[in-house]
Structure 1
Amino acid sequence: MTDAPGRPEWASARALRADKGHETRSLLLDAAARVFTRLGYARTTIADITAEAEVSRPTFYAYFETKADVFREVAARVRDEFLAGHEIPDVDVNDPYALGRASAEAFLAAHAANHELLTVIEHQAITDERIREIWQEITRRPTRRVARYVERLAKAGKADPAATPAVVAEAITGIFARFARQVPADREGFERLVDELTAIYLRILGVDRASG
């Protein structure tokens, strides 16, 4: 007997359990992120996480072995959110203004959403090698991507950067990181900051918006 063409009941049941397992795992990661943000790494306990998620300790251990294990996954999710800011769909990569503004908005939004958690990740990176690798990806990969983009624009004659691509990339990501620590809470202020940082970005790249 099947519940759909070509799918036996046991297969549907297994798929349902997998979906439920994914939901529970996500629930635990969301709860852990909130607790780590609120308490920091050292003060957080597995009991805090299970209480926040409203699940039992055995449920936690069904998905994660230790507090360090779940923290690494939380940190990896933050990393992925930041890197996604440089892979924006439906934006013309040949338009420096459109790509720069979209990237600025995504970066600032990700930083605003994870500001306190980023501090916890940075601190834990001092003693945990795997967290240090994740932290370096958060901080270095975007810079390398910007450098490659600046180099490509310069070679195509679409930009006249103020310095070498590597230095320009360091300057741009440094400026964005500085202002990301104080992102305005109101939408109007946020949009204004995005516009101002995009203007700075274009100036450092040596791109004329009117001709870009």
Structure 2
Amino acid sequence: MTRTGRAWTTRTARDRSETAVRGRLLDAAEEVFARLGYGSATVAGIAAGAGLSRAGFYVYFASKEEVFAVLAARTRDDFLAAQDVPGVDTADVRAVARASTAAFVTAYAAHLPLLRLVEQQAQHDAELAAVWEEIQERPVRRAARWIRRLRDAGTIRPVAEPLAVARAVGGMSVQFARLVAADPAAHEGAVRDVTAMYLHLLGVEPTP
């Protein structure tokens, strides 16, 4: 069946790229994937969740696979953003450690169901495998660069090599984020405990 002449097919890629409707579709897709899993999620279900028809979905995405790939990339970007700490004095090691830990735990807990699906799908999709690798590695390597700069400046005395410390903190953050996903009330305690261990690994005394 030809779709020639339909108004929604004439929109440009730029028109489709960043709109409120596109964001609504992505949010609906994340909810559907998290609730039903990858195999059971459908275009119709995602469209309905966003208050659109199937035709409305196809204005923005070509397939279920495409919207999932975009979701995975958005989650990756959330984790990279979690390494930024706007409004925090970058010279204050304790403040940076706490702020970055809180952001990471919050992002991981919020996206946990989708992250599990990304990890599964990455096993047989090269594009998703690359995204999953970035989700795991880029925050760790970015933290390692920060730790190395502080160590070289004599500001901190980490108990191990910067990359090893960053991996240890990342692993702890993931485990505590899973607890927070199951019990959101545990968030403050999780951030406090991971930050305390982070500072210990950096060789920094916690705030009195």
Under a length normalisation based on structure 1, what TM-score does the superposition of the two structures give? 0.86
Query: 1:200 corresponds to which letter in structure 2?
Result: M
Q: Tell me how far apart the structure 2 counterparts of residues 67 and 18 of structure 1 sit (CA, whole Å).
A: 20
Tell me if 1:166 matches 2:159: no
Structural mapping, 1:38-117, within 5 Å:
38-117=35-114
Q: Tell me how far apart the structure 2 counterparts of residues 53 and 150 of structure 1 sit (CA, whole Å).
A: 42
Question: CA offset at residue 177 of structure 1?
Answer: 1.1
2:184 corresponding residue in structure 1: 185
Tell me if 1:141 matches 2:138: yes
Question: CA offset at residue 155 of structure 1?
Answer: 0.6
Q: Tell me how far apart the structure 1 counterparts of residues 163 and 23 of structure 2 sit (CA, whole Å).
A: 37
1:3 corresponding residue in structure 2: none
Q: Tell me how far apart the structure 2 counterparts of residues 21 and 198 of structure 1 sit (CA, whole Å).
A: 36
Q: Tell me how far apart the structure 2 counterparts of residues 191 and 158 of structure 1 sit (CA, whole Å).
A: 27
Equivalent residue of 1:55, what SS?
coil
Q: Tell me how far apart the structure 2 counterparts of residues 84 and 39 of structure 1 sit (CA, whole Å).
A: 28
Q: Tell me how far apart the structure 2 counterparts of residues 123 and 18 of structure 1 sit (CA, whole Å).
A: 32
Structure 1 residues 158, 83: closer, same or farther in 2, change over 3 A?
same
Query: 2:159 corresponds to which letter in structure 1?
Result: A
Question: CA offset at residue 24 of structure 1?
Answer: 1.3
Percent identical pairs in the alignment equals 45
What is the aligned length?
194
Question: CA offset at residue 59 of structure 1?
Answer: 1.1
Q: Is the 8 A contact 1:158 1:207 kept in 2?
A: no
Deviations along 1:33-66, whole A, 9 cap, x unmatched?
1101111111111111112122111111111111
**Structure 2 stretches lacking a partner, 5+ long:** 1-10
Query: 2:48 corresponds to which letter in structure 1?
Result: A
Equivalent residue of 2:32, what SS?
helix
Tell me if 1:204 matches 2:201: yes
Deviations along 1:147-205, whole A, 9 cap, x unmatched?
1111111111111111111111111111111111111422xx32122111111000001
Q: Tell me how far apart the structure 1 counterparts of residues 132 and 67 of structure 2 sit (CA, whole Å).
A: 16
Question: CA offset at residue 208 of structure 1?
Answer: 2.9
Q: Tell me how far apart the structure 2 counterparts of residues 54 and 196 of structure 1 sit (CA, whole Å).
A: 41
Q: Tell me how far apart the structure 1 counterparts of residues 99 and 45 of structure 2 sit (CA, whole Å).
A: 37
Q: CA RMSD in A?
A: 2.1
Q: Is the 8 A contact 2:16 2:60 kept in 1?
A: no
Q: Is the 8 A contact 1:202 1:208 kept in 2?
A: yes
Structure of greater Rg: 1
Task: Pick from 114, 120, 123 the counterpart of residue 120 of structure 2.
Answer: 123
Question: CA offset at residue 141 of structure 1?
Answer: 0.3
Q: Is the 8 A contact 1:83 1:142 kept in 2?
A: yes
